[in-house]
């Protein structure tokens, strides 16, 4: 009895220690807003190229998607009686990535429905930023892809009567699938081809991606895994069809691969937490992209690959828990 009493007084006399879950190191610059700002800066070259190539098509889509995403975030947060967290800029980033993954020719309702579905079904129903399982922008895009198949399909990218030169051609991957014609490597690199707004220029994606990696706003393992898997499988595919014009380099520079690898797959919320897990995640995306591109019914597979790997992210996290230094540690049951 006396012992317990003594313990009690001791615990009361101790200085108040706060017990809180990690992370314990706080840094003023490490905020959500800061990371999102980094992504926006990294998207700048892609935005510039898309506006230069697609003119008003790009401008319309970008403004519409960003506005709708921010509005959707505000409305859904208010519906949950929360303070709308617009100031952390995550809705802006979702809007930008959604806009850049849509075809410029897509009608306005595609952008509106995509934004609402992306923010609503992709993020808010799971509890908002940090809880989402899937990449919100890709959920929005997949949603409109299934809903408005004719406005999002391969032929919808093309409008012969358009004054903008890029829009009058078929996208490189569609051209490859339908006529077997190969687009020159240089044009894929610079980006004056048709396609989703942000995916055309490999150069812009590489520049922005490099910035993200240097700032460490994106984990390098993910793009490395994606490029490695896609490149390796593309080389195998080339070896199986010798003489094909669409080489491994085309596979790497063409389509949404680089845009997806640097901006979409690296979303820190919906990708795995451990370095090993991130690498596996990247490899999975790269392999699925090649599978869907070569065999699938859609010309491009980046979106579906990202969604599929997002869905196994919890399992990857579970099975790649790193061993602490000096481990193995016995697990308490």
The footprint of other proteins (CB under 8 A) covers 80, 121-122, 124-128, 131, 133-134, 139, 142-143, 146, 291-292, 294-298, 301, 303-305, 307-308, 310-312, 314-315, 317-318
In the complex, least distance from residue 63 CB atom to other proteins, rounded to whole angstroms: 26
CB–CB of 42/263 below 8 Å? yes
Output 191 or 301, the one with its CB closest to other proteins: 301
Nearest distance in Å: CB 162, other proteins: 29
Tell me how far apart the alpha carbons of residues 205 and 56 are, in angstroms, rounded to a whole number: 21
Minimum distance between the CB of residue 242 and other proteins, rounded to whole angstroms?
A: 16
Instruction: Report the residue number, 148 or 220, with the smaller CB distance to other proteins.
Output: 148
Q: Give Cα separations from 62 to 2, 12, 100, 135, 264 (angstroms).
A: 71, 59, 7, 18, 16
Nearer CB in complex with other proteins: 42/305: 305
Closer residue to other proteins, CB minimum distance, 51 or 291: 291
Q: What's the min distance (Å) between Cβ of 327 and other proteins?
A: 22
Q: C-beta of 101: minimal distance to other proteins in Å? A: 14
State in angstroms the smallest separation of the CB of 134 from other proteins: 6
Q: Considering beta carbons, is residue 208 or 286 the nearer one to other proteins? A: 286
In the bound state with other proteins, the residue whose beta carbon lies nearer, of 139 and 234, is 139
**In this structure, is the dihedral angle defined by the CA atoms of residues 164, 165, 168 and 174, taken in order, positive or negative?**
negative
């Amino acid at each position: 009895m006396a012992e317990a009493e003594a313990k009690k007084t001791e615990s009361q006399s101790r200085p108040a220690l706060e017990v809180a879950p990690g992370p314990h190191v706080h840094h003023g610059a490490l905020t959500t807003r800061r990371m999102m700002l980094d992504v926006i800066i990294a998207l700048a070259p892609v935005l510039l190229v898309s506006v230069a190539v697609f003119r008003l098509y790009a401008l319309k889509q970008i403004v519409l998607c960003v506005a709708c995403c921010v509005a959707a975030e505000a409305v859904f947060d208010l519906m949950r009686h929360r303070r709308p967290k617009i100031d952390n800029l995550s809705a802006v980033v979702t809007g930008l990535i959604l806009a850049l993954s849509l075809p410029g020719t897509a009608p306005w309702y595609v952008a509106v429905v995509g934004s609402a579905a992306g923010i609503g079904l992709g993020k808010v129903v799971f509890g908002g930023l940090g809880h989402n399982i899937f990449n919100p922008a890709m959920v929005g895009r997949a949603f409109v892809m299934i809903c408005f198949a004719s406005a999002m399909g391969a032929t919808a990218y093309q409008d012969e009567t358009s004054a903008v030169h890029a829009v009058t051609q078929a996208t490189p991957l569609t051209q490859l699938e339908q006529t077997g014609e190969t687009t020159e490597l240089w044009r894929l690199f610079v980006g004056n081809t048709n396609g989703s707004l942000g995916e055309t220029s490999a150069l812009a994606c590489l520049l922005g991606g490099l910035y993200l990696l240097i700032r460490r706003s994106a984990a390098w393992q993910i793009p490395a895994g994606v490029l490695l898997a896609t490149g390796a499988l593309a080389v195998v595919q080339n070896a199986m069809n010798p003489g094909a014009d669409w080489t491994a380099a085309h596979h790497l520079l063409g389509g949404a691969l680089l845009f997806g690898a640097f901006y979409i797959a690296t979303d820190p919320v919906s990708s795995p937490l451990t370095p090993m897990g991130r690498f596996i995640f990247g490899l999975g995306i790269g392999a699925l992209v090649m599978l869907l591109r070569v065999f699938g019914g859609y010309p491009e597979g980046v979106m579906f690959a990202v969604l599929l790997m997002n869905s196994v992210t919890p399992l990857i996290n579970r099975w790649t828990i790193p061993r602490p230094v000096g481990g193995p540690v016995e697990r308490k049951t």
